[in-house]
Structure 1
Amino acid sequence: MDRQDVQQLYRNHHGWMRNLLIRRLGCPEDAADLAQDAFERLLRKPMRFDSLLGGRHYLSRIAHSLCIDLWRRRQIEQAYLDSLQQLDAAHLPDIAEQQAIVDIIVKVDQMLSRLPRKVKRTFIAVQVEGLTYQQVAQRDNISVASVKNYLAQAIVRMTIFRETHFE
């Protein structure tokens, strides 16, 4: 799909996509932003379609994915804002710092969500919960070697993700 194909897809389907997103999100402004994001994705990573209808199907999948990302980000933002309520006003980060922190948390969440379940569970147990390899092995009824293997997998996958998604 070249730039002209994307322009044609945009002309034919932008209104449809915006309306689809308005129905899903209930917010015309968010819908307009996500519709624009969808077409920007096509410009960055061109795809080939058998027809413009195939392009519309692909756009609906992108729209679905963008909605999930938006909802997940809002959940993360709300959890972070809730945690800030525990802090003394003197220790609150400014708005720019809060946004940067949320951006990092969202990217970490994206990294973790791409890990296989066992790898993610092991990584969180060791890195977040502070369990030893032996404790994780006992808890999950696996060998210490498996714990080490899962951690190695997590580090490799997260390093690759970081190199491709963090600027």
Structure 2
Amino acid sequence: MSTVVPDGTAHTGLETLYREHSGWLHGWLRQRLNNSADAADLAQDTFIRVLLARTAGTLKEPRHYLATIARGLTIDLYRRRSLESAYLEALAQQPERYAPSAETHAAILDTLMAIDRMLDGLGPRTRAVFLAVQLDGLSYEKTGERLGVSVSTVRKHLARALMHCLLVEDA
């Protein structure tokens, strides 16, 4: 695992940004989340994103930039919790002997999050086509009938979805 070490200029910019805005960001997140621990975690994650993006010294509107990153991280937090809750609910319906190990449980949650990230960037029709073909196992013709589109439209949307998934996975 490599470690990113910012140059002196970037480090100074990040230090100034952190000093001037970390308290505000933590308060802004705490107000929205009603949870100080989650707010502190997301505030730190926000500054880590800034560090990795190396944009600290070039920001014209730092609070807007920080809030935008923090909003995305908040959405990710709620999405992860929602997926985890749905998974645990489904798991509770299964006999105990089928319960996965802690490692398998973590791997399944990570996979669900990756799938969710992939699907999140798709438009509604493209997502519907992708899920109909890949999840429901429908043919292109049946998918077209279900969604009221032509087979060539199904192919186009499926190709777009698969390309998007490859790009997300590659990133």
TM-score, normalised relative to structure 1: 0.91
**2:116 pairs with 1:109:** yes
Deviation, 1:3, is 2.3
Q: Which amino acid aligns with 1:66?
A: L
Deviates more, 1:74-83 or 1:57-66: 57-66
User: Separation in 1 of the partners of 2:104 and 2:30?
Assistant: 30
User: Separation in 2 of the partners of 1:61 and 1:69?
Assistant: 13
Specify which of 29, 34, 49 is matched with residue 42 of structure 2.
34
Stretches of 4+ aligned residues off by more than 6 angstroms? none
Which residue of the partner structure matches residue 163 of structure 2? 156
- Give the alignment of 1:1-167 within 5 angstroms: 2-47=10-55, 48-50=58-60, 54-164=61-171
Aligned-residue CA RMSD (Å): 1.3
* Identical amino acids, percent of aligned pairs: 38
How many residues align structurally?
A: 161
User: Separation in 2 of the partners of 1:83 and 1:117?
Assistant: 25
Deviation, 1:56, is 1.4
Q: Which amino acid aligns with 1:16?
A: W
- Structure 1 stretches lacking a partner, 5+ long: none
- Structure 2 stretches lacking a partner, 5+ long: 1-8
TM-score, normalised relative to structure 2: 0.89
What SS class does the counterpart of residue 65 from structure 1 fall into? helix
Which residue of the partner structure matches residue 5 of structure 2? none
What SS class does the counterpart of residue 87 from structure 1 fall into? coil
